């Protein structure tokens, strides 16, 4: 079947839980070190060395936590929906597992983005919460995560659970552009994005470089925690297989 060879080899290898378990084991230490370095450098720079904002003073430093987490909460959602779609189309079990593992990580970061936003809103806008388009669409994102997690755990069969959550995740994908463009489509208190592809940031480099470092650091953080969860999920589902048994015997010594 020559016609089937249009997909790269690694794509098929990814479908093997054993291969995935081994490759993530090799990648984890590197990503963990990168995460630690990037987050520490970004935080020290952002908290101690970046200049204060001329209007908001030092409360603006919450940006160094708020923007990366809000950004990741959306990126993780997109990752989850894509993994879910791959699982639906190619019946790839590893993709189903990735989608399932994304949900709790994304939910925790969505909570953090909402919480840091509320804490930042108090000194800046004078209110913890306003029913503003950006804030409301972000709250909907959190509820989507909760819905996906609840649906996944409510269905007994693993493949049916994966299919239903993938469909829900894909439907909920419509919320992502709404979050992105909410600050332009409606009158909102929330400021527009710091980073745009087409323009230079309005901030001085001393402010936006640490922010960029932290965004990259949070991407690596997501990779680390996703791989950790994925490895657990692989072990759990493959527990009866001979390779997991061998691995366990080695652990026992």
Binding site for another protein (CB under 8 A): 39, 43, 47-52, 57-59, 61-62, 65-66, 69, 105, 108-109, 111-112, 115-116, 119-120, 122-123, 221, 224-225, 228-229, 231-232, 235-236, 239, 244-245, 248-249, 251-252
Q: Looking at beta carbons only, is 40 or 89 nearer to another protein? A: 40
Q: Looking at beta carbons only, is 9 or 252 nearer to another protein? A: 252
Smallest distance, another protein to C-beta of residue 116, A: 5
Which phi-psi region, left, alpha or beta, contains residue 46 (left: φ > 0; alpha: ψ -120 to 50)? alpha
Taking the CA atoms of 161, 164, 170 and 172 in sequence, report the sign of the dihedral they define.
negative
Q: Looking at beta carbons only, is 62 or 88 nearer to another protein? A: 62
3-state helix, strand, coil in the chain (%, to 5): 80, 0, 20
Q: Are 212 and 195 in contact (CB under 8 A)?
A: yes
At residue 57, the 3 state secondary structure works out as: strand
Q: C-alpha distances in angstroms, 54 versus 28, 60, 163?
A: 41, 10, 50
Smallest distance, another protein to C-beta of residue 103, A: 12
Q: Looking at beta carbons only, is 32 or 183 nearer to another protein? A: 32
Smallest distance, another protein to C-beta of residue 61, A: 5
Smallest distance, another protein to C-beta of residue 169, A: 20
Q: Record the tokens describing residue 165, joined without a space.
A: 């959550």
């Amino acid at each position: 079947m020559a016609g089937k060879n249009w997909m790269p080899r690694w794509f098929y290898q990814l479908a093997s839980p054993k291969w995935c378990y081994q490759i993530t084991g090799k990648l984890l230490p590197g990503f963990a070190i990168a995460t630690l370095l990037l987050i520490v450098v970004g935080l020290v720079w952002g908290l101690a060395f970046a200049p204060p904002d001329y209007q908001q003073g030092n409360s603006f430093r919450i940006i160094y936590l708020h923007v990366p987490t809000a950004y990741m909460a959306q990126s993780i959602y997109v990752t989850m929906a894509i993994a879910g779609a791959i699982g639906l189309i190619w019946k790839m079990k590893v993709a189903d597992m990735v989608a399932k593992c994304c949900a709790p990580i994304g939910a925790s970061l969505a909570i953090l983005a909402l919480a840091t936003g509320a804490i930042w809103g108090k000194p800046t806008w004078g209110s913890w919460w306003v029913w503003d388009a950006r804030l409301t669409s972000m709250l909907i994102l959190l509820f989507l995560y909760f819905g996906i997690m609840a649906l996944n755990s409510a269905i007994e069969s693993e493949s049916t659970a994966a299919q239903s959550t993938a469909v829900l995740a894909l439907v909920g994908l419509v919320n992502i552009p709404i979050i992105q463009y909410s600050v332009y489509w409606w009158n909102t208190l929330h400021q527009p994005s710091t980073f745009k592809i087409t323009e230079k940031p309005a901030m001085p480099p001393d402010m936006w470089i640490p922010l960029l470092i932290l965004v990259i650091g949070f991407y690596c953080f997501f990779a680390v925690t996703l791989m950790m969860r994925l490895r657990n999920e692989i072990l759990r589902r493959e527990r009866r297989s001979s390779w997991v048994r061998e691995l366990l015997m080695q652990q026992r010594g």
